Amino acid sequence: MHYREILPILPLRDYVRYFWVLENSNDKAEKQTFKILPDGIPTLIYQDRPNLFLDQYHQVAPQLYVYGQFSQFTDQSVEGSFRIIGAYLEPTALKALFKYDAIEFSNKNIALEDIVPNTLLEQLVHTDTIEEKIGLLSSFLLEQIQYNRFENKKIDYISLLLQKGKSLKEIQDEINISERTLERLVKQYIGMSPKLFSRIMRFQSSLDLLRESKFKNLTTLSYQSDYYDQSHYIREFKEFTGVSPKEFIKSSDEQLINFPLFKSEE
């Protein structure tokens, strides 16, 4: 299995963090299950062939689709060879790209054709190289941005502060907005409550430390990540992953940090 990341063209960098490609050329590969964890990032996904991924309910993901914020972990499985391309978006990008409130995308995989009329899937199917496909995805996203001409510097700044671990009270004071307005803006432009988004950002920060082994023990990791104590950290970790931190470390023989996290369980 091979994974790589590709930077977007300059005009997209306020909306797309990067493109990623995950592929397996082994036609006889056995079933693989990937654990997808909440990370606060919406993504546009293209699968090279239809009926590729199944979720834990055995529902087929669309060949070209958008998923918004996920508030809990989920599993997806695949058999045989595959190639997937993802556009890893900024937390506030969905509103700018499609005009719909981000909350409409939360905890869903939505076919792109159900969001906006387009011929992108047909174009992608009839191109061969990854570079050509990413070029088509880039052109589509750029057209959406230019067509909608939407930007909100305030919510982009709020998103940045939340990702940096600022408390909701600190953000309200700095931006000079009420708790109710903050709640409304974050749900509308990011797709979940500011409290939940903040929790997911803290969880992801702790996950980075866990992956990189930048901690002495779980107690110090808990405090490094601004949890009240170790039991609070373990409880939150289990909520977002389904396993304890120790179980996660033990089983993580293969990890990729996107989609939002692939964890092979073969």
Model pLDDT for residues 106-157, shown as the tens digit of each residue: 999 999 999 999 999 999 999 999 999 999 999 999 999 999 877 788 999 9
First vs last Cα of the chain: how many Å apart? 12
83 & 171 share domain = no
Residue 266 lies in a domain: no
Dihedral sign (CA 159, 165, 166, 169)? positive
Count helices and strands in the chain by DSSP H and E runs: 10, 11
The structure's pTM equals 0.88
178 & 131 share domain = no
137 & 185 share domain = no
Range of the domain at 97: 2-150
Domain count for the chain, please give it: 2
Is pLDDT above 90 for 80?
no
Beta bridge partners of 18: 88
Between 82 and 90, the higher pLDDT residue: 90
Q: Pairing mode, if any, of strands 43-47 and 16-24?
A: unpaired
144 & 23 share domain = yes
**pLDDT score at 238:** 94
Residue 88 lies in a domain: yes
Dihedral sign (CA 189, 38, 17, 1)? negative
41 & 115 share domain = yes
143 & 170 share domain = no
CB 218 within 8 A of CB 233: yes
Q: Which of 151, 150, 190 is nearest to 171 (CA)?
A: 190
163 & 245 share domain = yes
Residue that is written with structure tokens 């950002």 in the block: 201
